[in-house]
Amino acid sequence: MSIRTDRLRQFLAGIACDAVLVSKKENVRYYSGFSGSNAQLLITPDQAWLLTDFRYVEQATQQAPDFSILRYSGSPYPVMTETLASAYPGKKLTIAFEGDFVVHDTFEALKTALPESAWQSCSLESLRMQKDAEELRLIHQAMEISQQAFAQILPLIKPGARECDIALELEFAMRRRGAEGKAFDFIVASGARGALPHGVASEKELCEGELVTLDFGAVYKGYHSDMTRTLCLGTASEKQLEIYNLVLKAQEVGCAAIQPGITGKDVDAAARQVIISGGYGEQFGHGLGHGLGLMIHEEPRLSPVGDRILTIGTPVTVEPGIYLPGWGGVRIEDTVVVSADGCINLTAGTGKELLEIR
């Protein structure tokens, strides 16, 4: 079994459970290697099963060699019940389940199928925070794809171009470089739409003199990248430069604050104070950043409530912004990895000084 599964078993021992049912697809992939859309894992201190249906038995056999494959038709619960009864006859088990993912009806079905078992809610998200070398390699490759694609489509960002066309060309450029998909719905927000922190690309045409914010990322072998750049179509005004440089300073302060042992909220506070001191604290209403990996948003959170401690090998985004209704906004985002002496910037290949497109 892998180091990841060993850590999961240590976690089980710590919460005094006999088994864990892993249902969230990202966690299924993390612990087993199986990337299909339908599977659950059942892991005990000495057994590991992967439950799936006919469509994925061959794939599961190839991708999850350390797991015993249990095939089911219809519901997985009869097979699960029979397997546990055979492996642990007469024993009343305490089974952990992902309470932050399993819906109420599914939980009721589990209790009905295994009435003699006790169930304990848990979250497995924090176990994925610290990435191993292979995970970091995949995230780095996803980030390289994103940066190369961004450089390619820059000539398309000009007055008259539609936000949605820029987003589409960016996705095409990523896929041509090996991305299996986009990490999320790309944000391309120009002019007054830049005041929308999640202003996904619309049919609006870009205009001379506007700021344009692009937030985008690729998925490479399951792992996500995330970055944001804000550009100016033409020569920036005094106010545009003021807002941009304030966000840039906050972003740089946030990156500089990252180190092993610091909490997410302390990093957030360092960057947020820059924007507060500049008079725009009320216009920075979201957290500074988040972890990423098999999901685009993972633990830890860099936010006023982010109390998790950063550890070496943890990737996080640093993305302060200022958003002014009716005027527009600025956000600048890098993805960095916590290192022994601070952090390593995976987005260093793309500059952060304001690019004025003339």
How many whole angstroms separate alpha carbon 296 and alpha carbon 109?
30
pLDDT at residue 1, as a whole number: 59
Which secondary-structure segment (H or E) carries 112? helix 104-113
How many whole angstroms separate alpha carbon 123 and alpha carbon 125?
6
Angle at 347 between CA 346 and CA 352, to 5 degrees: 150
Contacts (Cβ under 8 Å, ≥6 apart) of 207: 159, 190, 191, 233
pLDDT at residue 276, as a whole number: 98
At 170-187, the pLDDT tens digits run: 999 999 999 999 999 999
> Across the beta sheet with 227-233, what order do the strands follow?
187-190, 211-216, 227-233, 355-357
Q: Outline which parts of the chain fall under CATH 3.90.230.10.
A: 133-357
Q: Outline which parts of the chain fall under CATH 3.40.350.10.
A: 3-128
CATH number of 133-357: 3.90.230.10
Handedness of CA 260, 261, 265, 268 (dihedral sign): negative
Structure tokens at 198: 């999640």
Angle between helices 77-87 and 104-113 (to 10 degrees): 40
pTM of the model: 0.95
Task: Characterize the bridge pairing of strands 334-339 and 342-345.
Answer: antiparallel
Residue 198 DSSP SS3: coil
Cα–Cα nearest to 296, from 215, 213, 235, 209: 215
327 Cα distance to chain centroid: 29
pLDDT at residue 2, as a whole number: 87
**Is omega for the bond preceding 197 within 30 degrees of 0, making it cis?**
no
Contacts (Cβ under 8 Å, ≥6 apart) of 216: 146, 149, 150, 167, 170, 182, 183, 186, 187, 226, 227, 228
CATH topology for the 3-128 domain: Creatine Amidinohydrolase; Chain A, domain 1 (3.40.350)
pLDDT at residue 322, as a whole number: 98
The amino acid occupying position 51 is L
Residues of the chain with pLDDT below 70 are: 1
